[in-house]
């Protein structure tokens, strides 16, 4: 059954890749003035993380189509979106980043995978190429004036810091909750587990009663699920992604772990494409959203705009969900940064240092037209938002909103050292 599940994920990713390739590889026509603005994307369109990489890429493609066709481009210049498939491979991420810089001559790059941030940050700094990524703090710290990488969403540990704060506020029992951890043996997951363990042990003083790990290529996690179940966890934190998360949650449901423990994932179960692979196993899971939800479009006008864009360009795709909204939020950020840079320096001034300066000094507290939490970009802190919408997956692919914009408590002074985040 697990092998079949893995095959479903792979086939699903390949089908979506075909869709991406039909749109993402075509160059937009030149603008009416001096030419196009090229923006790049190193992204996992195939491989174990494609389930999130593909819809984000599609959202960015659709947003730039809307910019080109409906808005006439950015300050009169059409946008060309250039995508490189990294297949969750850091070597390919390096190859793709260098191709986008040296051959495609892009102005900015979206680094799609947290796993690739560690190898792309030094390239961005070397080439003076502004880039945005779901960053690990071990990559960002220590902050330097020469950094060209900016965080586009909260670090995954920030997400858990929000959810654990929410759990603390609502915990009614005398004894503290029993916490289990299901980690993935890759850099991004390790950099989540370490600070969260620090928070549990030093601030909350909640017992970690089980800590399990799986590898990216795992097809059987029965022993890990059994150990978590035997530990009688109240909550199981799962910093997983892609196929591993699908396999873990399917096994957890089958073994009855979800009957006694509340699973808390990063974000993937809020993705409709993911949930439709196994609706039963992805129900009742607590999750996070660093961007607004479709249910909030009455409060946030931009949600109605991107819903219309999505329906126009992806009529046969799943309904809009948070992972696509994250892509659209990135598109809004790109547009704002590029507009501000052209306004100040002109089209010929779209250089790395100029774009970086705009991001640091003109994007402070920008919230992607209400799509995301505050983005405190500054020379000192290149991170993403520090607030999350907490949700729980409900029947019929709905989301129960537990808290809108749960504020994250500040990390301790120790967190300013990169070693705080490194395994």
Q: Three-state secondary structure along 122-169? A: HHHHHHCCCEEECCCHHHHCCCCCCCCEEECCCCHHHHHHHHHHHHHH
48: Cβ contacts below 8 Å, ≥ 6 apart: 9, 88, 216, 217, 241, 242, 243, 244
CA distance 366 to 329: 11
pLDDT of residue 34: 60
CA distance 365 to 384: 10
pLDDT of residue 377: 66
pLDDT of residue 376: 67
Q: Three-state secondary structure along 107-125? A: CEEEECCHHHHHHHHHHHH
CA distance 242 to 245: 6
Structure tokens at 24: 């993402």
| 332 phi, psi to nearest 5 deg | -60, -40
The mean pLDDT values, 10 residues at a time, for the chain of 423 residues are 43 40 37 75 92 92 98 97 96 98 97 91 97 86 86 90 97 97 92 95 98 94 98 97 90 97 91 88 94 88 94 90 91 96 97 95 88 76 85 93 94 90 82
Distances (CA, A) of 330 to 95, 150, 295, 397, 411: 23, 12, 20, 24, 25
**CA angle (329 as vertex; 131, 301 as ends), nearest 5:** 155
pLDDT digits (tens, 9 = 90+) for 336-380: 999 999 999 999 999 999 999 999 989 888 899 999 987 766 767
Q: Could you tell me the sign of the dihedral formed by the alpha carbons of 77, 122, 53, 385, in that order? A: negative
- Select from 125, 115, 120 the least CA-distant residue to 87: 115
CATH topology identical between 8-154+296-361 and 156-289+387-420: yes
The answer to whether residues 178 and 161 touch, using CB atoms and an 8 Å cutoff, is no
Structure tokens at 104: 């495609």
CA distance 411 to 154: 13
CATH architecture assigned to 8-154+296-361: 3-Layer(aba) Sandwich (3.40)
- 156-289+387-420 — its CATH code? 3.40.50.2300
Strands 387-394, 398-407: pairing kind: antiparallel
The answer to whether residues 192 and 164 touch, using CB atoms and an 8 Å cutoff, is no
pTM as predicted: 0.84
pLDDT digits (tens, 9 = 90+) for 62-91: 999 999 999 999 999 999 999 999 999 999
CA distance 97 to 107: 12
Domain segments of the chain as ranges: 8-154+296-361, 156-289+387-420
CA distance 314 to 292: 20
CA distance 263 to 167: 12
CA distance 102 to 90: 18
């Amino acid at each position: 059954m697990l092998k079949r599940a893995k095959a479903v994920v792979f086939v699903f990713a390949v089908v979506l890749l075909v869709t991406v390739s039909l749109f993402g590889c075509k160059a937009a026509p030149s603008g009416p003035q001096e030419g196009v603005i090229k923006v790049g994307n190193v992204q996992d369109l195939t491989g174990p993380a494609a389930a999130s990489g593909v819809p984000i890429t599609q959202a960015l493609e659709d947003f730039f189509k809307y910019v080109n066709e409906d808005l006439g481009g950015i300050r009169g210049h059409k946008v060309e979106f250039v995508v490189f498939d990294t297949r969750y491979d850091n070597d390919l991420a390096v190859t793709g980043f260098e191709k986008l810089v040296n051959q495609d001559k892009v102005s900015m790059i979206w680094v799609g995978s947290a796993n690739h941030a560690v190898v792309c940050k030094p390239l961005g700094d070397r080439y003076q190429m502004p880039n945005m990524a779901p960053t690990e703090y071990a990559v960002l710290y220590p902050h330097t004036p020469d950094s060209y990488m900016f965080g586009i969403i909260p670090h995954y540990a920030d997400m858990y810091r929000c959810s654990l704060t929410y759990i603390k506020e609502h915990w009614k029992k005398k004894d503290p909750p029993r916490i289990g951890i299901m980690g993935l043996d890759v850099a991004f997951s390790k950099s989540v587990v370490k600070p969260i363990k620090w928070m549990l042990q030093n601030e909350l003083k909640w017992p970690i009663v089980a800590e399990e790990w799986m590898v990216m290529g795992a097809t059987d996690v029965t022993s890990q699920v059994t150990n978590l179940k035997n530990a009688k966890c109240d909550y199981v934190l799962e910093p997983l992604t892609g196929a591993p998360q699908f396999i873990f949650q399917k096994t957890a449901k089958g073994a009855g772990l979800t009957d006694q423990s509340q699973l808390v994932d990063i974000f993937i179960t809020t993705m409709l494409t993911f949930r439709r692979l196994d609706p039963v196993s992805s129900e009742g899971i607590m999750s996070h959203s660093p961007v607004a939800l479709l249910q909030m479009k009455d409060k946030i006008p931009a949600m109605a705009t991107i819903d219309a864009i999505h329906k126009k360009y992806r009529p046969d795709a799943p309904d809009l969900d948070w992972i696509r909204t994250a892509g659209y939020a990135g598109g809004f950020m790109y547009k704002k940064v590029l507009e501000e840079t052209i306004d100040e320096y002109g089209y010929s001034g779209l250089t790395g240092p100029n774009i970086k300066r705009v991001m640091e000094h003109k994007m402070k507290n920008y919230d992607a037209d209400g799509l995301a939490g505050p983005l405190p970009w500054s020379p000192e802190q290149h991170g993403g938002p520090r607030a999350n919408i907490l949700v729980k997956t409900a029947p019929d692919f709905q989301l129960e909103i537990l808290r809108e914009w749960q504020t994250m408590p500040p990390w301790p002074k120790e967190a300013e050292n990169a070693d705080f985040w490194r395994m």
